[in-house]
Every structure is written in C-alpha cells, then in structure tokens.
Structure 1
Amino acid sequence: MTSDNDERDGPERTEPAPLWPPEDEPGPADPESEERGVWRYEHCTRATLVVDAADYFLLIQQAMLRAQRRIMLIGWDFDTRIALGRGRGWMNIFKRRHPPRRLGAFIVWLTKQNKDLKIRVLKWNFAAVKMFFRGSMIIDLWRWFKNRRITFKFDAAHPVGCSHHQKIVIIDDRFAVCGGIDMTAERWDTRAHRDGERLRRAPGGKRYMPWHDVTMMVEGEVAGALDELGRNRWHIAGGEDIPPLPHQPESAWPPELKPQFTDIEIGIARTRAEWKDHKEIAEIETLFLDMIRKAQRFIYAENQYFASRRITEVIAQRMGEPDPPEVVLINPLFADGWLEQEAMDTARQRLVETIGRVDKQNRFRIYVPHTDGDSPIYVHAKLTIVDDMMLKVGSANMNNRSLGLDSECDLFIDANRPANAGCDEQIRRIRHSLLGEHIGLEAEEVGPLIERYGSMHALIDRHPQPGRRLKPLPMRELNGLQKRMADEEWLDPEDPSDFFEPIVGAKSRRPALFRRLRAPV
C-alpha cells in the first residue's frame, strides 16, 4: 500500500496538478456550465437516489466498510451517538466480526481493521455548542483525538451569521454521497413513516416526529470532483493540503444497491459567501432560477423551506403567464425550532400571498405530508424535478441563506444533455415513487392516475387518501412584527452584511422581500 500522501499517478498524468489553483477553484468544465449555474459536469458510472435515513444509514455503513484509503465526512452536524446499520446478514461478505452500531465507535473500529485508512471529519463550528449537551459524544471525540488516523475539525471559514451546510461523504476518490441527510440525531426514519415507530428515538430516548429526507450516492469521476471540493473545503477551514489519491480500481459502492442511473454526466453546483480571499459562489441560485424558467409542464419539489425572494420572483412571473407550469411543492408544516419558525414560516406565508396575487389558475400549491394517523411529517429534503428532464438534489434550501450565505453543494442531472439520453424515464420513476410515498400509493400506480386525473394537483385533490396523505399548507394570520421581519428578511438575509440591517438601518426604503417584485405583482 502507498501512503495517503502519495500523488496520483497513471498514463494520463505525468505530474500532479496544483491542488489550489490561483483562482481558488477550477472553473466550469465546459462553456455551457457557467450560464447554467453548474461548476462542472463529470462522468458518473453509477448513481442512485436514497430516500430517508433508515436506508441511508445502512448503506453508508456498508460503503465505509469497503473503504481502502480515505474517508472524508463533511457535514453541518455529526452526532457520534447515533446508530447506523445493525450489520447482520451482509456482514458475512466481509468475513469480519460484527461492527459497532454507534457512529463514534464505528469510526474508531474502521481504523483498527485497516491500518492504511485515514478518516477526516469536517463539521460546522457553531454546532459545536450542541456537543456539550450530548454526554458520551465528548468521550467519542476524545477517542478520535487520540487516534492518529482520525482528524476532526470545525469549519469556521465563513462570515458571521453564515454556516457550513454541505452534507457530503467521499470514500477513496471513487464513491461519494451528496444530499440533505446529516449523520446526526433525529434523522432516522423509514419510508413508511409509521406512527409510534419504536426506533424513531434520539440517542437520549426522546421521541421525535416522522422525518423525510433524500440524498444521492454516486460513483466515478463525479466522486473525484466532490473529493476535490472536499479537500479544498478542508484547506479553507484551516486543514493541511490533502493530495488526490492514486486511482482506485474498485469503489465502495454497496454491493446490494442497484443503480438507477449508469454512465451519465452529473453536474455539481455550489454556494459560498465571500470570505477573506475566497470569492462568492452562487451557482445554485443560478441553477434554481434557470430550472424554473425552463419548466414547460411542471415543477415537483421537496424542500425544508420556501423563503427565497428571488425564487418567488421567478415563480410569480411564471404564474402570470397564460399557461403556467404546474408547481407542486412539498414542505413541512412548520420549521424546526422557534427562531426558524419566525424566520422561515412567516416569510413563506408572505411569499405565498405574493404569488397568489398573480396565480389566477391556482397552479402553485404547497402541500404538507401526513402519516396514517394524521401526524405531520417533517420535510428536510432538498430536491427539485422539472418536466422529468432535470433533477437536482443536495443540501440547498429554497431560502436566502442557501442561495448566498451558507456553503452548499447540489448534484444535477440534465436529461437534455446527449450523454444523458433516456434519463427522463428514470427521473419520472423517482417522481412517481416520491409522490406515491406521500399519498400511500405504489410508484407504478401514480403515472396512470395522473393521466386519469390530468395533473398532480388533481390527483392529490380527488384521489382517496385513507392513509398517508398530502394536505394543502394552512395559512395563518401574521401580526405586524412578523410581517416586518419577513418583509425585511431580518433572520434570512441575502447578504452577510444584512444581518445588522435591522440595527443600523435598512439599505432600501422598499422592504427586502419586495425589492424586485414590482410587475406583475
């Protein structure tokens, strides 16, 4: 085995490329990328969308068991107390003893099984406060600290008020995960979202509400690009320079996971606020707006928030057209936490009211998923599908923070690209599967029912939903202070400097929410 510091070799490269280019990061891979809001497109040998954390935690444990040289865990939060897979049955493949279930112990166990393996964990620095209330997590971090092949680092490389929000795992430069699922507490749930699920408990035993989320597993050169992004982020956060690995003949792809896509091109889009010598990146915002503008028939989206003025502006323009696309947005009933509810829920209500003024055909609707027992399901997913021709999944929400302040990363599949011919059929299956999950139908039933009723809205409105169901988002009255907080974006600004705007005075006399929502609103 070569060391982790060896440079990549092979017939196509005689010397290693500079890890940190003069312009901080390499530009788009082709001329179309920049205008479409994509950092670069890379070849992907296999890709699969993973829905909900019960499956994801099992699969990511299987993948990490196959790691040979390096694992990079990059996230908004990590809780070492959570249990991943139970490790029964498929463990016979590896001929090893049963691994620990808890994330913290599992990471240490991996380094003992493979002396060539190095593991790096990058976590948002503000979330460090939570560690002091997590009991045994301090012990786990001490064990990590003593292990020379485990490096744990807090990411503080952002302006005040911004956060590190990416959720990425990279294994051996050949396999990666990018999406919305954090390896932390109160994330685990199955696609059934059962009422009273006994395993849906936080490490301390606390029960939490049903939770819906998505992420994507990829293999190939796209994983190498995410590895480059991760190494760059590690360096920006104050870590050492990490060189690329030599080519790995095999990836950590879980052997039992069937790919939904094979041999396609996947785009990568990012968000990052300007910080010190690192320029602002707003690719995800450009991509979001481009997808909405290009929608011809429908937009299906699942997102934790709906609080972006720019996204609302473009949707309002589309809703004012003679034949606007159908927009189905799946949201949680309320944000997670009082402060987020004040910031996001009030802004959502004001934005929905704004769109409603021009949406004469009622084509834009927000729905909240509910369990069989009528409990609301929290939606943490960040997924957008347009006309079954474009699919975007990652960490970015539909709020101002994700479009300009926080560090984000999304993956993008565009069936319009020649290399992705035929992807539309698989994207359609994904949309039907997700919609079926929310209204208690099998994926195969959804397509014929949409044809029968004529639209997704009509299917949701008219088809019986005796169990799981989607309900229209209820509207509520806002008081004067809530309206002002939403309109002026006090808690969800578009620029880091705007955090202090309520104190030092607004930059514009026009409320921020409506600065550019002039015509047709």
Structure 2
Amino acid sequence: MSILVAGQTCWQTHKADNASVIIDADKFFRHARSAMLKAKHSIMLIGWDFDTRIGLVHDDQNDDAPVRVGPLLDWLAARNPDLQIRILKWDLGVVNSLARGETPFYVLKWMFSKQIHLKLDGAHPAMSAHHMKLLVIDDQLAFCGGIDMTVGRWDTSDHRENEPRRRSPMGFAQGPWHDATTCISGPAAVALGELARTRWRYATGQTIRKTERDDQIWPDGLDVEFENVAIGIARTAPQYEDRQQVSEIETIKLAMIGSARKYLYIESQYFASRRIAEAIAARLKEVDGPEVLVINPEGAGGWLEAKTMDSARVRLIRLVEDADRFDRFRILYPVNESRSPIYVHAKIMVADDDVLKLGSANLNNRSMGFDTECDITIEAHDQSTRGKISRVRDTLLAEHLGCAVEQITDAVKTTGSLLRTVDTFSRSIGRGLMKVPVRELTVADEVFAESDFADPERPAGVKYRTASFLQQRLRRPKPLQLG
C-alpha cells in the first residue's frame, strides 16, 4: 500500500530525474551557488529568512562570480539581462534582519529593480510564519529542505569546535549547526516551481509564467543518489482568506509512524506536537512495534522557545517514555569532538528502509497546521531504492556518532537495531549522541508548555479533522487515537 496519496498525504507526486540529500549548509550553499550560476531565465528564493551578507563558499573559486549572496545576485542579473530573480521573505522576518544589523541597501535597491524583485510575504494569519525553504532555478532544478540562506546556518559535517569560518557577517563566533535539504531535477522540480509561483501570487497578486528550458542542469560536484524516482510533495498552509486549510505534512507524518515496522528515525528542531507524540506512544505499546530514535538539539534557543518548546518536550518525553514498555525509544542530541552540543535544525523522518521524508516541517504544532511548510517524500518500491534510503539514514547516524557509514550499516544489519547500534558506538569522549535532559517543570513552565501562545495548532476557528487516509487505511485491532 502506497503511503503517497494525492490530496491526503501529499499535494502531488512527480518523477524526479535526479535527486540527492544534502547534509549541512556548507554543501548546500556551495551547490546552490553552482546551480544559480547556470540559471538562464529565473531564480526563485522562498524562505523564512534571507541575508545578503553571508558567504556561500569559503575557499578560492575558479570563476569570477562573487561568493556573498547579495553581490552574487547583482552579478548574475548584470551578466544576463533575461534573468529574473524573485525573493519572497516572511514579512515579520524582516524584524530579525534589522535586529542583527543587516544593511537595508539591497532591500531598498531590489524593491525597485527590474530584474531582482524582493517581496515581503504577509499573506498569513496573525503570528503565523512562512517557514518553507525553496530555491527553484529555471523550473528545472529545485532545492527543498530545512536550510535558510541566512546567518548561523553555515557549517561542515565535522562541526568543529571554534571553526574560524563559522562566523556571522559581524564577526561573531557561532556554534555548531546540523541541517539538511534536497536537490531535485525533472518533473518534480517543475512542480516545486509551480508551488513557488503560487506562493508568489498569494503574496503579491502577480502571476508568473513557467520557464521553458530545453537543457537540464545539475550542480557541479553533487553526486546523484536517486534516479527516476517518484517524489511526493507535501504542504502545510493555514486557512487564510480564500485559501483552505492544508495539513498534508501532518497526515504523512502520522501515516509514516503508523506504517513503520522496525525503525523510525527522526531528526527535528523540536519535539512539541502532542498528536505526534501520542501516535509514537501508541506504536511503542505494541509488542511488535518499531524502534523510535529522535535526534533533537540539547535545548531550544531563546527564553520564549525554552519556556514553550522545551517545556512541551519534557511533558511529551514523559508521555512517550511511560508508553515505552519494551525499551524501544530514545531521544538524543549530538555533540562534537569537544563534546559541545550541535544544534539540530534538520527536519527528517525515515520509516524502515521504505520512506524518506525531508523538508521544513518540525515536530511542533505550528508545522502541522499554522505555518507554511513544504516537505518532499521518497517511497521505495524496489530494493535499490530501499538501499539508498537506508544509506541516507546511516550517513546521518555516522555523522552524529563520528564513524564510517559502512560501520553503521554493518552494525544495523548485525544487531537488527538502531538503538543497539547507537549504544555500540557511544563513548565518553569525542563525537557522539547524548540523552536529552528532562528537567523538572516550574509552574510557569507548565503554563507555557503546549500552549497556543507560541505554538498554535490551527488558526483561530479552524477545527482539527483527521484525514480520511488515516481513518480508512491505517486501522489496527485497537485503532490509533489521533484526537
């Protein structure tokens, strides 16, 4: 039974000629720059945040193009008068830009440019965020994932302590950061281009024609992992004006949790959705249910996030651990060689070797129904694709545990367990995974935990509805209670 059902667990499914998972922003920024240098007609950047000052590469290049985002886009436009560059940024995100000292020079210039068009997207309910991250080039190539082209995202997979290149444009040192995205070509990229144009129309009222290009493009140096594979595109979008509520991402997350047989591997910035936690808890109660390994940051950044997201996480960890009768659940955070925490910003879910989902949506309420999000899903229908999906999961685990991918693959095969594999490579020094701390909650924490103030599930007045896909196709002897 396919987990990808248009209108339920995804918006559309399309073939990708080529597709790859890109781990950490050093690689993403490098490949994004390479792809933008190949643009002939259009570049569309859609994100939660965007900073013109960041460098996309940190070493010498054998081309004349600038390495910083703002000068690069200006250079591309000057070199090609047929190129149209459109940047769509969450309107409230501009407050972040001003707070960190970003110059308004490019913002003002691009608002009146004939080739580079910067728009602030306010087409959302009050306090909702535009969180999806898309880069679409010539409607031929698309990047979709969790990495914003902004301050604090750049890092290599080594996540070294005191990395000299990991600094803000103002020169401030920044901590280790783990993230991920995808690169896709072919009809699936065309569909992501359609989504980007739809977002632009909602925000601006302007309709953009699809780009026509005969030749195919792919970033230099990026290995192709998947060929001729079906891609499911799932969205979250809150009800707003004439736009109906869209909760495909929540549906596919719950479907993946419900369908996993042996392993459920998750990376997320948060663990704050009660609906997701209850679905995991239900599976852990089953005698033959799957192992669940969640990779989170050690803690959220900022006072409000600590009060809301971390407090919610404490309550939900307790809920899940109470249901974990067979010791099949872990929630861990990664540390680097110096045992400093690595901030996890990636949003990934892998069910067995069968389904890989990656995008912008976290395990919090906002991502399920209040912000705009976009995830892509690859579902395996042959052994070759299963091997590639498990390779992605093992690569992520190998990065976190500081060992070779082949060691992880062999250990999973030998032990038949992700959790025992983690235990095998756990050590008290160097890279590794640590148990997420569960602190005692104060009265104030209890008030903020799982509140609608910072992490609402739906816009005001929009009722929750369980998707018919979950009602009809994932019934068990004791049906999963999803609220």
TM-score range, shorter chain: over 0.9
Distance (whole Å) between structure 2 residues aligned to residue 86 and residue 368 of structure 1? 28
The percent identity for this pair of structures is 42
Which residue number in structure 1 is paired with residue 470 of structure 2? none
Which one of 355, 371, 385 corresponds to residue 423 of structure 1? 385
Identify which of 37, 41, 50 aligns with 1:69: 41
Contact residue 333 and residue 473 of structure 1 kept, 8 A: yes
Classify the secondary structure of the residue corresponding to 1:269.
Answer: strand
Secondary structure of the 1:422 match is helix
The 2-side partners of 1:271 and 1:126 are apart by 19
Please state how far the C-alpha of 1:143 moved relative to its aligned partner.
3.1
Q: Structure 1 counterpart of 2:150, which letter?
A: T
Q: How do 1:30-49 residues align onto structure 2 when only pairs under 5 Å count?
A: 33-34=5-6, 36-49=8-21
Mean Cα deviation higher: 347-356 or 463-472 = 463-472
Partner in structure 2 of residue 55 of structure 1: 27
Match of 2:256 among 280, 287, 291: 291
**SS of residue in 2 equivalent to 1:160:** coil
* Distance 1:87-1:70 versus aligned 2 partners, 3 A rule: farther
| CA shift digits 1:245-293 (9 cap, x unpaired) | 22x1223311321100011110000000000001010000100000000
Q: Deviations over 1:129-164 (max 9, x none)?
A: 123234453112233234310100011111011110
1:196 paired residue number: 162
Alpha-carbon distance in structure 2 between the residues aligned to 1:90 and 1:421: 40
CA distance in 2 between counterparts of 1:136 and 1:123 reads: 14
Give the letter aligned to residue 299 of structure 1: L
Q: Offset at 1:491? A: 2.1
Aligned to 1:328: 293
Q: TM-score by structure 1 length?
A: 0.86
Moved more, 288-297 or 353-362: 353-362
Write the letter of the residue equivalent to 1:323: D
Check conservation: 1:371, 1:377, Cα contact below 8 A: yes
Asked if 1:438 is matched to 2:404, the reply is no
One-letter code aligned to 2:255? D
Is there any run of 5+ residues in structure 1 with no aligned partner, and where?
1-29, 92-97, 500-516
Q: CA deviation at 1:462?
A: 3.5
Counterpart contact for 1:108–1:143, Cα < 8 Å:
no
Q: Which amino acid aligns with 1:469?
A: G
Cα distance, 1:203–1:89 mapped onto 2, change above 3 Å:
closer
Please state how far the C-alpha of 1:476 moved relative to its aligned partner.
0.5
Q: Which amino acid aligns with 1:414?
A: E
Displacement of 1:69: 0.2
Contact 1:87-1:99 at 8 Å conserved across structures = no
For residues 451 and 350 of structure 1, do their structure 2 counterparts lie closer, same or farther at Cα, with a shift above 3 Å needed?
Answer: same
Deviations, residues 91-137 of structure 1 (Å, cap 9, x unaligned):
3xxxxxx2112111111110011111000000000011123234453
Instruction: Quickly say closer, same or farther: Cα 1:32–1:295, change in 2 above 3 A.
Output: closer
C-alpha change, 1:387 and 1:32, in structure 2 (3 Å) is: closer
Q: Between Structure 1 and Structure 2, whose CA radius of gyration is higher?
A: 1
Q: Does 1:496 align with 2:468?
A: no
Task: Give the alignment of 1:127-138 within 5 angstroms.
Answer: 127-135=93-101, 137-138=103-104
Distance in 1, Cα, partners of 2:480 & 2:439: 25
Match of 1:300 in 2: 265
SS at match of 1:33: coil
Query: Take 1:279 and 1:474, find their aligned partners in 2: how far apart are those partners?
Result: 39
SS at match of 2:460: helix
Q: Distance in 1 between matches of 2:296 and 2:3?
A: 35
| 1:171 counterpart = 2:137 | yes
Partner of 1:509: none
Matching residue of 2:209 = 243
Q: Secondary structure at the match of 2:228?
A: strand
With over 3 angstroms needed to count, the CA separation of the structure-2 counterparts of 1:464 and 1:272, relative to structure 1, is: closer
Please give the alpha-carbon distance, in whole angstroms, between the structure 2 residues aligned to 1:445 and 1:433: 10
CA displacement at 1:208 relative to structure 2: 1.4
Task: Say if 1:167 and 1:180, in contact at 8 Å, map to a contact too.
Answer: yes
The aligned residue for residue 235 of structure 2 is: 270
Whole-angstrom CA distance in 1 between matches of 2:114 and 2:191: 26
Of 327, 332, 342 in structure 2, the residue corresponding to residue 362 of structure 1 is 327
Q: Which residues of 2 match residues 70-109 of structure 1 at below 5 A? A: 70-86=42-58, 88-91=60-63, 98-109=64-75
Rounded Cα–Cα distance in structure 1 between residues aligned with 2:62 and 2:22: 19
- Contact 2:31-2:220 at 8 Å conserved across structures: no
The amino acid that maps onto 2:327 is N
What is the root-mean-square deviation of aligned Cα atoms in Å? Answer: 2.1
The answer as to whether partners of 1:438 and 1:468 remain within 8 angstroms in 2 is: yes
Residues 1:259 and 2:221 are matched in the alignment: no
Unaligned runs of 5+ in 2: 463-478
Alpha-carbon distance, 1:460 to partner: 1.7
Alignment partner for residue 216 of structure 1, among 167, 182, 194?
Answer: 182
Q: Does the 8 A contact of 1:490 with 1:498 survive in 2?
A: no
Whether the aligned pair in 1 keeps the contact of 2:3 and 2:252 (CA below 8 Å) is: no
| 1:497 CA drift (Å) | 2.0
**Partner of residue 345 from structure 2, selected from 362, 380, 397:** 380
Task: Report how many aligned residue pairs link the two structures.
Answer: 465
**Structure 1's 136 and 330: CA in aligned 2 closer, same or farther, altered over 3 A?**
closer
Equivalent position SS for 1:263 = strand
Task: Report the counterpart of residue 8 of structure 1 in structure 2.
Answer: none
1:390-405 map, 5 Å? 390-405=355-370
Q: Which moved more, 1:167-176 or 1:141-150?
A: 141-150
Query: Which residue identity lines up with residue 352 of structure 2 in the other structure?
Result: D
Asked if 2 retains the 8 angstrom alpha-carbon contact of 1:172 and 1:251, the reply is no
What SS is found at the alignment partner of 1:231? helix
C-alpha separation in 2, matches of 1:227 and 1:314? 33
